[in-house]
Each structure stands twice: as C-alpha cells, then as structure tokens.
Amino acid sequence: MTLQQIFEENAAYVWRVLRRLGVRDADVEDVCQEVFLVVHRKLDTFDGSSALRTWLYGICLRLASEYRRRPHRRREEVAGAVPEQIMAAPQDETLDRRRALDRLDAALDQLDDDKRAVFVLYEIEQLPMAEIAQAAGCPLQTAYSRLRAARAQIEATMRRQVLVAAPAGAARLTARSSA
C-alpha cells in the first residue's frame, strides 16, 4: 500500500481521531500532516501484525499527547473549520449539534489520555476492544476498565453541564424529582 492510498483512505479517520483526542480545530490540519509524515518515515516498519488503523491510531495518540503538552498551543479560533456535514444541516440543527459536540469535547477534555483514547476508539470510532488494547499497549481487561471509568466520568461531567446550563428553578426541580 502506498502513502497516497493510506492518506486517501484514512485522512478523515485521522482528522476525527485527532480532534477527539483534544487537538483543536485551529491545529488539527498541522497535526494531521505530522501523522502522515511519521507514516511516510515509518511505513517500512509496519509489519501488518495489527490493523492499519490501529497503527495509525498509535501514531495519532502519541502526537495528540505531545500536542496537548505543548505550552505554545494556539487558541481555537471562534470561526474555526466546521465539517461539511454540519454546515449542510439546517440552522437550528447545526447549532444543537455544535453545542452537543462542544459538550462532548469539554467532557473528553476532563479525561486523562488513557481513558480518552479508549473511549474515543470504542465509542466514537467503534474499533474492537482487542485492537484498542493493542494500540494502547495494555491488557484487554485494563482497556475495559478504562472504558468503564471514562463512561462514568463523562456521564458525571455531562450531568454537571446540564445542571449548570439549566435555569436555577429547573436545577432545584431536577434535584427534587431525583430524591
């Protein structure tokens, strides 16, 4: 398989993975290019013992982790790039989707890199857990534990976001009805 074929078949996947691993819209193209530079340099070392996407994910994970540690990371631009599917949606639906994506991104930002990686690969990219464990370099049961912990943390974060966004009376009503 050539670099061109790998790029054409996996660029959108790499973009999504990087975005979900915390690379901001303003920087995702640059980091995506870095991924394919690594692929170009290391393609001869890919032995096929794992799926290509698992190997790509490992590269994305390392580069996204480096990106998140960079102190000079650019701030996300307010008018950043929006995927075409979202731009084509009606105005209200687009706003709702954008808000939902923003809430998910905020919840993902609260996770450590290990939990975030497993959650993104399993819940968003829908990879098999065995491949995820291999990409993360951990035992299968550890990957499942990270997924459970990530789900619980995201659920708690999303619940807090809803309570913060709700009017004061609604928060009291919600608290009463759950008691």
- Say if CB 23 and CB 65 are below 8 A apart: no
Q: What is the pTM of this model?
A: 0.64
Q: What percent of the chain has pLDDT over 90?
A: 36
Neighbour count for residue 164 (Cβ, 10 Å): 8
Give the per-residue pLDDT at 91: 66
**What pLDDT does 61 receive?**
87
Domain edges within the chain: 1-81, 89-179
What is the CATH class of 89-179? mainly alpha
Do residues 21 and 116 make contact, with C-beta atoms less than 8 angstroms apart? yes
Distances (CA, A) of 16 to 31, 122, 145: 12, 13, 24
Query: Which of residues 73 and 107 earns the better pLDDT score?
Result: 107
Q: Which fold has domain 1-81?
A: Rna Polymerase Sigma Factor; Chain: A (1.10.1740)
What are 17's two structure tokens?
A: 């993975």
Report d(CA 31, CA 16) in Å as an integer: 12
- Region of 70 please: left (phi>0), alpha (psi -120 to 50) or beta: beta
Count of H-run helices and E-run strands, the chain? 9, 0
pLDDT band at 83 (very low <50, low <70, confident <90, very high): low
Mean pLDDT of 75-90: 46
